[in-house]
Amino acid sequence: MLAAAALLAGCATDPPVPPAPGAGSPVPTAGRPVTLTVGVYGTFGMKEAGLYDAYMRLHPDVAIRQTSLSRTDVYYPQLLTHLTAGAGLADVQAVEVGNIAEVVGTQAGRLADLAHAPGVRREDFLPWKWAQARTADGRVLGLGTDIGPLAVCYRKDLFAAAGLPTDREEVGRLWAGDWRKYLAAGRRFAARAPGGTAFTDSASGVMAAVVSGAPLRYYDAAGRLVVAANPAVRAAWDLGAAFARDGLTARLQQFTPDWDRGFAHGRFASVTCPAWMLGYIQDKAGPAGAGKWDVARAPRPGNWGGSFLVVPSAGPRVAEAAALAAWLTAPEQQAVLFERRGSFPSARAAFALPAVADARHPYFGDAPVGRIYSAAAREVPVAPVGPKDGLVNQILSDTGMLQVDQTGRAPESAWRAAMKAIDNALDR
Amino acid sequence: MTEETARRALVPVAAERVRPRGRPLRSRAAPYALVAPFFLLFAAFGLFPLAATAWLSFFRVDLTAPEARQWAGAHNYARLLGDEFFWNALSNTVLIGLLATVPQLLLALGVAHLLAARLRGRLFFRVAALAPYATSVAAATLVFALFYGRDQGMVNWALGVVGLSPVDWQNGPWASKFAVASIVLWRWTGYNALIYLAAMGTVPPELYEAAALDGAGRWRRFWHVTLPGLRPALAFTGAVSAIGAVQLFGEPLLFSSGAGASGGADHQYQTLGLYLYEQGWVNLHLGRAAALAWAMLLLLVAGFGLVRLVRGGRGRGAR
């Protein structure tokens, strides 16, 4: 398998060539050629990293086609409609972590059990990632692709101008262990900030990062919604609000064109960044930001985002699809996905592979991103995920904290508005 | 067989009359057969969804398991009354509708009046007036969203040039409604202007001559001759604009790439159409979305009923 990964790394962008002897099964099977479809959202990266090409080289009788929708909020309802109708589905479908509990809870009868798909080894995966897609009766409906361990990305030039340290070890020590130290660093930055710059991009980004490290978030282990009464959520809210009230944010909303331009124009000095955000920052900050960015450890470990692959059982090629999903999520392929696209492996067996362990990111000052993110991933507390995790998170950020940040609404009043919106959305 | 049916439909009525009454049923059925395709399509894609939505609106049902529905009676409708998000969306819809429709129709009238004059390059101006209508909602809205950007938008830049402070077009409760309405205004003014222009062409020129002979100026001729001649066109554009306003969806959905179906952080420009979408496809409550869809239809019907009642009453009073 390691040899296969090395082979793949060598020629993934080359045109398909006949497989070398010994790699996979060079003799086409007796069956007719099959076409497998993979449905994903956003720029998922598997195609871009050359994984499909590699699989087709190993299996000349398999062709892979990908369908992609750019937005999760369009992709997910469509996936549910297709699942409940039993039609229009791809052979393999991606599911975001905010939706995985709902998919496992309500679509179990329409998805194949992947626990025993060829090549799947439970001990390869992070235990909590494996558990998130497992039903009460022990079936595993999704295989983890990536996770989103947290770090803080920062601009060395802006930190230096404001009199903060710039070396990533020193920066990490500046706020090690406590998100309130990140706030203190922000206040220090603000006192001597270069004109037109803020310490961080958004209050919502800070809040999401703090919540992502809590051992209890929006649901408890029994599946009850506890968002309103959970002190950890409230603490994250108060910290995010403190950033907004102290004027330490650029008052931007993440993943909007304004945010993108904020990167390009260097309007903020730091952003809490899961591994998958590195490529995005590099894209948006562009050549103008080259040599200015670096990555330091986050105050506390946390996990923000990540995905799964599921196989609808209504499909005509369930066995072939399960084999593909298993191969795509195997440690070697996850390592390639990290190396090429920055999606951090959910397979802990991949952490030790050189493609991960020794990974450095040239755009971020050759930061040892493999080491930084593996360390964060190992310490992520295991928190229960609930069916509406994604929706609750979105409302807290985009209805609640966004108002505190952008319109100066009082945190208490914005909190009540968010709770009301959550109750309405969850039909409580 | 079908060829024969078609030929029979084309024969003049006189020829039909002299023909002996051989197969009366078939000749009477022919027109129905000819209009049937439309009604079949209408039944499949208009009537059936309407009825299915009505049926669904009496259940508690989620997109995650549409087959597991629970009878809820009128609960989905009753809860609308106490649903502040519904009332907020309704008031947004009315306000954005007024902000978009009233200036739009007035402006269209003015544009039509100008286009009716003999000017050079008339065809160019008429085509130009229709160009926004031919632009897709998505393309237009995305460009407008750029114009209305808070930090780097052109509108705020222009405000700065004339010494005014920048406006937060996304978050301002009135600014955002105005911004969304302006997209509608831009897209539909030309379309309405061309309808008015066509209607102006049907006003007999003698009326203008007679009015001129009576000493009426340009303004009075417009007021007393053109406007009464435009009444059917005004009613038509008013009705179409009202329907469009109630169904307003694409513009507020795409106005902010970060807000999605919520219509802004404080739902400040969430319309009824957007709230329906949010209930159905974000919150996944199909029953509530269906009830909302029917409530919107009933609101429109009630609105038009009210207009008819008021106009009917006035008409009788005048006579």
Is residue B73 a part of any domain in this protein? no
What is the per-residue pLDDT across A347-357, written as a single tens digit (0 to 9) for each? 999 999 999 99
Interchain CB distance below 8 Å, B63 and A417: no
- The confidence band for B256, taking pLDDT boundaries of 50, 70 and 90, is confident
Contact residues on chain A for B262, CB-CB shorter than 8 A: 398-399, 421
CB burial of residue B17 (10 Å; 0-12, 13-18, 19+): exposed
Is residue B79 a part of any domain in this protein? no
Rounded Cα gap, residues A335 and A329, in angstroms: 9
Mean pLDDT of chain A: 90
Let me know whether B5 and B140 are in one domain: no
Is residue B94 classed as helix, strand or coil in its secondary structure?
Answer: helix
B265: nearest CA partner in chain A: A399
Interface residue B82 vs chain A (CB under 8 A): no
Contact residues on chain A for B284, CB-CB shorter than 8 A: 77, 80
DSSP output for B121-188: THHHHHHHHHHHHHS-HHHHHHHHHHHT-TTT-HHHHHHHHTTPPP--TTT-HHHHHHHHHHHHHHHH
The CATH number that applies at residue B150 is 1.10.3720.10
Let me know whether B30 and B178 are in one domain: no
Q: Kindly compute the dihedral angle of the four CA atoms of residues A372, A374, A379, A384, in this order, to the nearest 10 degrees.
A: 120
Is residue A370 a part of any domain in this protein? no
Is residue A251 a part of any domain in this protein? yes
Interchain CB distance below 8 Å, B258 and A253: yes
**Token duo for residue A320:** 């072939």
Give residues 159 to 198 of B whose Cβ lies within 8 Å of A: 168, 170-171
Is residue A365 a part of any domain in this protein? no
A contact test, residue of B143, B266, B276 with most A CBs within 10 A: B266
Number of domains in chain B: 2
Rounded Cα gap, residues A182 and A198, in angstroms: 13
Determine the distance in angstroms separating the CA of A342 from the nearest CA of chain B, rounded to an integer.
24
Interchain CB distance below 8 Å, B284 and A426: no
Give the model's pLDDT for residue B292: 96
Determine the distance in angstroms separating the CA of A312 from the nearest CA of chain B, rounded to an integer.
14
pLDDT higher than 60, residue B41: yes
Interchain CB distance below 8 Å, B265 and A420: no
What is the per-residue pLDDT across B227-250, written as a single tens digit (0 to 9) for each? 999 999 999 999 999 999 999 999
Is residue B130 a part of any domain in this protein? yes
Contact residues on chain B for A264, CB-CB shorter than 8 A: none
Question: Which is higher by pLDDT, B161 or A382?
Answer: B161
**Token duo for residue B72:** 């809820």
Residue A104: count of CB within 10 angstroms of its CB: 24
Query: Strand A34-41 vs strand B59-60: parallel, antiparallel, or unpaired?
Result: unpaired
What is the per-residue pLDDT across A128-140, written as a single tens digit (0 to 9) for each? 999 999 999 999 9
pLDDT higher than 70, residue B145: yes
Question: Which is higher by pLDDT, B132 or B151?
Answer: B132
Select the residue of A84, A255, A399 nearest B65 (Cβ to Cβ): A84
Q: Provide the 8-state DSSP code for B283.
A: S
Query: A121-125, B9-13, B241-245: which has the minimum mean pLDDT?
Result: B9-13
Contact residues on chain A for B292, CB-CB shorter than 8 A: none
Amino acid code (one letter) for B202: T
- The confidence band for B26, taking pLDDT boundaries of 50, 70 and 90, is low
Question: Which is higher by pLDDT, B25 or A258?
Answer: A258
- The confidence band for A306, taking pLDDT boundaries of 50, 70 and 90, is very high
- The confidence band for B122, taking pLDDT boundaries of 50, 70 and 90, is confident
pLDDT higher than 60, residue B20: no
A42: left (phi over 0), alpha (psi -120 to 50) or beta: left
Query: Strand A142-155 vs strand A344-345: parallel, antiparallel, or unpaired?
Result: antiparallel
Is residue A398 a part of any domain in this protein? yes
B283: nearest CA partner in chain A: A425
Q: Provide the 8-state DSSP code for A108.
A: G
Contact residues on chain A for B171, CB-CB shorter than 8 A: 403, 406-407
pLDDT higher than 80, residue B11: no
Let me know whether A104 and A240 are in one domain: no
Interchain CB distance below 8 Å, A424 and B85: yes
Do A199 and A174 touch, CB atoms closer than 8 A? no
Let me know whether A185 and A229 are in one domain: yes
Find the mean pLDDT for residues A5-34: 43
The CATH number that applies at residue A171 is 3.40.190.10
- The confidence band for A18, taking pLDDT boundaries of 50, 70 and 90, is very low
Determine the distance in angstroms separating the CA of B266 from the nearest CA of chain A, rounded to an integer.
6
Let me know whether A266 and A340 are in one domain: no
Closest-CA residue to A354 (of A336, A327, A379): A336
Give the model's pLDDT for residue A404: 97
Let me know whether A47 and A173 are in one domain: no
Let me know whether A290 and A319 are in one domain: no
Q: How far is CA B82 from CA A41, A404, B72, in A?
A: 37, 26, 16
- The confidence band for A43, taking pLDDT boundaries of 50, 70 and 90, is confident
Q: Kindly compute the dihedral angle of the four CA atoms of residues A226, A227, A233, A234, in this order, to the nearest 10 degrees.
A: -100
Let me know whether A102 and A207 are in one domain: no
Domain around B228: 84-318
Find the mean pLDDT for residues A234-242: 97
DSSP output for B203-237: S-HHHHHHHHHTT--HHHHIIIIIHHHTHHHHHHH
Contact residues on chain A for B150, CB-CB shorter than 8 A: 258
Is residue A276 a part of any domain in this protein? yes
Long-range contacts of A411-419 (CB under 8 A, 24+ apart): A411/A237, A411/A238, A411/A241, A411/A244, A411/A245, A414/A241, A415/A237, A417/B266, A419/A227, A419/A228
**Token duo for residue A315:** 């499909």
Let me know whether B167 and B278 are in one domain: yes
Query: A5-14, A341-350, B154-163, B259-268: which has the minimum mean pLDDT?
Result: A5-14
pLDDT higher than 80, residue A8: no
Let me know whether A265 and A400 are in one domain: yes
Let me know whether A133 and A157 are in one domain: no
Number of domains in chain A: 2
Long-range contacts of B37-43 (CB under 8 A, 24+ apart): none
Do B112 and B198 touch, CB atoms closer than 8 A? no
Q: How far is CA B153 from CA B96, B150, B167, in A?
A: 22, 6, 10
pLDDT higher than 80, residue B39: yes
Find the mean pLDDT for residues A412-426: 96
- The confidence band for A250, taking pLDDT boundaries of 50, 70 and 90, is very high
What is the per-residue pLDDT across A345-387, written as a single tens digit (0 to 9) for each? 999 999 999 999 999 999 999 999 999 999 999 999 889 999 9
Let me know whether B97 and B12 are in one domain: no
pLDDT higher than 80, residue A413: yes
Let me know whether A39 and A135 are in one domain: yes
- The confidence band for B21, taking pLDDT boundaries of 50, 70 and 90, is low
Is residue A366 a part of any domain in this protein? no
Residue A276 belongs to what H/E stretch? Answer: none
- The confidence band for B10, taking pLDDT boundaries of 50, 70 and 90, is very low
Is residue A320 a part of any domain in this protein? yes
- The confidence band for B22, taking pLDDT boundaries of 50, 70 and 90, is low
Amino acid code (one letter) for A379: E
Let me know whether A11 and A28 are in one domain: yes
Give the model's pLDDT for residue B257: 79
Domain around A312: 2-147+305-357
Interchain CB distance below 8 Å, B282 and A425: yes
Predicted model pTM: 0.86
Give the model's pLDDT for residue A134: 95
Select the residue of A106, A258, A399 nearest B151 (Cβ to Cβ): A258
DSSP output for B17-82: HHS--S-HHHHHHHHHHHHHHHHHHHIIIIIHHHHHHHHHTTEE-BTT-TTS-EE-TTHHHHHHHT
A407: nearest CA partner in chain B: B171
Contact residues on chain A for B282, CB-CB shorter than 8 A: 73, 77, 391, 425
Interchain CB distance below 8 Å, A253 and B66: no
Is residue A374 a part of any domain in this protein? no
Let me know whether B16 and B94 are in one domain: no
pLDDT higher than 50, residue A145: yes
Let me know whether A163 and A204 are in one domain: yes
**Token duo for residue A322:** 């399960």
Find the mean pLDDT for residues A103-115: 96
Interface residue A391 vs chain B (CB under 8 A): yes
Interchain CB distance below 8 Å, B266 and A399: yes
Rounded Cα gap, residues B169 and B183, in angstroms: 13
Let me know whether B170 and B23 are in one domain: no
Give the model's pLDDT for residue A15: 38
Give the model's pLDDT for residue B25: 61
CB burial of residue A226 (10 Å; 0-12, 13-18, 19+): middle
Is residue B126 a part of any domain in this protein? yes
Find the mean pLDDT for residues A38-61: 94
Buried-state track B116-128, b at ≥16 Cβ within 10 A, e below 16: beeeeeeeeeeee
Find the mean pLDDT for residues B19-37: 75
Give residues 222 to 281 of B whose Cβ lies within 8 Å of A: 256-262, 265-267, 281
- Could you give the percent of chain A with pLDDT greater than 90? 85
Let me know whether A405 and A270 are in one domain: yes
Amino acid code (one letter) for B17: R
Is residue B63 a part of any domain in this protein? no
Contact residues on chain B for A399, CB-CB shorter than 8 A: 262, 265-267
